[in-house]
Amino acid sequence: MNGMTWIRVGAVVGGLGVVAGAFGAHGLEGTLDSKGFELFETAARYQMYHAPALLAVGLLAMTGRRGVALNLAGWSLLIGVLIFSGSLYGLAFTRISMLGMVAPVGGLALIIGWFALAVVGGRPGPDRQEG
C-alpha cells in the first residue's frame, strides 16, 4: 500500500478505537460483567495504541521509504490489531475461551510490526545520508 492508504488505515483504526472506547464507557454499562468490561477496555486501548504506529508507516512511506520492513510493519500492525483487539472484543461478549488463545498471535504480530518499524525508522531516508 502507499503512504496515503496507510494514513487512512491508521485514521480509521484510531477512529474506530474512539468509537469502541465511547461505546464501552457509555453503551455497555450493565451489559458486561467486570471481566468482560476489562477485556473490552483492553481491546480498545491496544487498538488506539497502534493507530499512531500505522500513521507512522504512512508518513515514512510518504518520505520515500520503501521495502520489505515497511510493508512488514504496516501489515503486521494492522493484522495484529485485528487479531488481538478483535479476539478480545469477541471474548468480552461471548466468553468463548478459544478467543483468548488467539490473542497472543495478534500480540506477536504487533511486536513484529513495532520491530519492523524500528528497522525502517533507523535507516536514513532516500534523500539523506547518515551522519
> 80 near 109, Cβ under 8 Å?
yes
pTM: 0.91
pLDDT category at 127 given cuts 50, 70, 90 is: low
Cβ neighbour number for residue 58 with a 10 Å cutoff: 22
User: Among residues of the chain, what percentage have pLDDT more than 90?
Assistant: 84
Give the model confidence (pLDDT) of 55-94 as tens digits: 999 999 999 999 999 999 999 999 999 999 999 999 999 9
Chain-wide mean pLDDT for the chain? 93
Q: How far apart are CA 73 and CA 10, in angstroms?
A: 12
Q: Is the pLDDT of residue 119 over 70?
A: yes
Residue 129 has pLDDT above 60, yes or no: no
What is the mean predicted confidence (pLDDT) over 37-49?
96
Torsion of CA 91, 94, 95, 97, to 10 degrees: -70
Residue 75 near residue 125 (C-beta atoms within 8 A): no
Q: How many angstroms from the chain centroid is the CA of residue 103?
A: 13
Question: What's the whole-number mean pLDDT along residues 46-56?
Answer: 98
pLDDT at 123: 72
| Domain ranges (residues) in the chain | 3-121
- Give dist(CA 35, CA 67) in Å, integer: 41
